[in-house]
């Protein structure tokens, strides 16, 4: 529950938004983007789609700024916009065979998912960030096999370990990288990389 001081500050920002102050929209964006992105990512499973819908939410907020009551919960209003946007998105794609196939592909997890991601500059930067958290041997095996394209046997000989150990290291690395890429906390980093490119 918000204190009186927080309610006054909140109301002040809403009043500024009502008056067309872009700084108020930025403040609201910074205040709500993480919780909305986390909720959207859980529902949509794609950072790209989340970014688009998040953008649409704040465009709708701006378009309807004069109708927003500073004494009512903006959080509830924004979550309602988000829920409606997700429903609209799924309604729109329900008849789109290509998009349905895309969503099915998002659910599939295998080695090729990460190999394809290596081709994308932004995702490469995310993978580099994820690799930094791997144990050194696991990171080395991943880099040699997946990034340099060496065979399991070649890497096993080079590192003096068995091909089965190579497979175990790669499975561990792939799992950790996938978890990193799916973590809503990394969504902001992903969005910033996308905007920088």
- Rounded mean pLDDT, 25-34: 88
Architecture of domain 4-104: Orthogonal Bundle (1.10)
Residue in this structure with the two tokens 């409606």, named with its chain if needed: 84
Domain ranges of the chain: 4-104, 109-196
Mean pLDDT of 101-113: 55
Residue for token digits 């008849």? Answer: 95
b vs e for 75-86, b when ≥16 Cβ sit within 10 Å of the residue's Cβ? eebbbebbeebb
145 has pLDDT over 60: yes
pLDDT exceeds 50 at position 195: no
The residue-averaged pLDDT of 139-155 equals 86
Tell me the C-alpha distance between 60 and 48, whole Å: 19
- pLDDT value at 190 more than 80: no
Tens digits of per-residue pLDDT, 43-64? 887 888 888 889 988 899 899 8
In the block, residue with structure tokens 């970014």: 51
Topology, domain 109-196: Arc Repressor Mutant, subunit A (1.10.10)
Tell me the whole-structure pTM to 2 decimals: 0.48
């Amino acid at each position: 529950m918000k204190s009186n001081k927080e309610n006054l500050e909140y109301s002040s920002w809403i009043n500024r938004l009502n008056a067309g102050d872009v700084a108020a929209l930025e403040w609201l964006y910074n205040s709500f983007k993480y919780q909305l992105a986390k909720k959207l990512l859980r529902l949509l499973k794609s950072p790209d789609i989340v970014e688009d819908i998040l953008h649409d939410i704040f465009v709708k907020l701006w378009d309807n700024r004069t109708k927003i009551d500073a004494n009512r919960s903006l959080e509830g209003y924004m979550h309602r916009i988000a829920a409606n946007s997700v429903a609209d998105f799924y309604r729109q794609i329900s008849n789109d065979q290509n998009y349905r196939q895309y969503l099915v592909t998002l659910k599939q997890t295998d080695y090729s998912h990460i190999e394809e991601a290596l081709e994308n500059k932004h995702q490469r930067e995310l993978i580099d960030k994820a690799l930094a958290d791997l144990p050194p041997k696991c990171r080395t095996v991943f880099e040699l096999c997946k990034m340099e394209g060496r065979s399991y046997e070649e890497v096993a000989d080079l590192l003096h370990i068995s091909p089965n150990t190579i497979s175990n290291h790669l499975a561990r690395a792939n799992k950790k990288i996938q978890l990193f890429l799916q973590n809503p906390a990394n969504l902001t980093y992903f969005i910033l990389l996308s905007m920088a490119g």
